[in-house]
Chains A and B, each alone.
Chain A
Amino acid sequence: MDEAGRGPWAGPVVAAAVVVSRRLPRVRIDDSKRLTPAQRERAYHAILEHARVGVGIVHAARIDAENIRQATLRAMEEAVAHLARRPDLVLVDGHDVPSLSIPCWPVIGGDRLSYPIACASIIAKVTRDSLMVFYHRLFPEYRFDAHKGYGTPAHRDALRLHGPSLLHRMSFRPLAASSS
Chain B
Amino acid sequence: MTQTFRQARGRAAEQMAVAYLRREGYEIEATNVRFKVGELDVVAREGETLCFLEVRSRTSEQFGSALESITPMKRRRFIRAVRWYLARRRRPWLGPMRFDVVAIQHRQGAPPSLTLLRDAFTADS
Interface residues of A (CB under 8 A from B): 88-89, 95-97, 99, 101-106, 108, 113-115
Contact = CB atoms under 8 A, between A and B. Distances in A.
Chain B interface size range:
10 to 19
A95 B5 contact: yes
A103 B19 contact: yes
A80 to B, nearest CB: 13
A114 to B, nearest CB: 7
Interface in B2-27: 3-5, 8-9, 11-16, 19
A89 B108 contact: no
Given A88-B19, A89-B111, A89-B112, A105 B12 contact: yes
B92 interface: no
B109 A114 contact: yes
B interface: dominant SS? helix
Contacts, number: 39
A30 to B, nearest CB: 14
Interface of B: 3-5, 8-9, 11-16, 19, 106, 108-109, 111-112
21 contacts: A88-B19, A89-B16, A95-B4, A95-B8, A96-B3, A96-B8, A97-B3, A101-B15, A103-B11, A103-B12, A103-B16, A103-B19, A104-B8, A105-B106, A105-B112, A106-B5, A106-B9, A108-B5, A113-B108, A114-B109, A115-B109
A95 B12 CA distance: 12
A136 to B, nearest CB: 36
A24 B12 CA distance: 28
Nearest to B18: A103
Contacts of A103: 11-16, 19
Contacts of B109: 113-115
Nearest to A92: B8
Nearest to A90: B12
Given A102-B15, A114-B109, A115-B109, 4 more contacts: A89-B111, A101-B15, A103-B15, A103-B19
A108 B106 CA distance: 14
Contacts of A105: 9, 12, 106, 112
What are the 5 tightest A-B residue pairs by CB atom distance, in nearest-first order? A103-B15, A95-B5, A103-B12, A105-B12, A103-B16
Nearest to B15: A103
Contacts of B15: 101-103
A99 B14 CA distance: 13
A108 B111 CA distance: 16
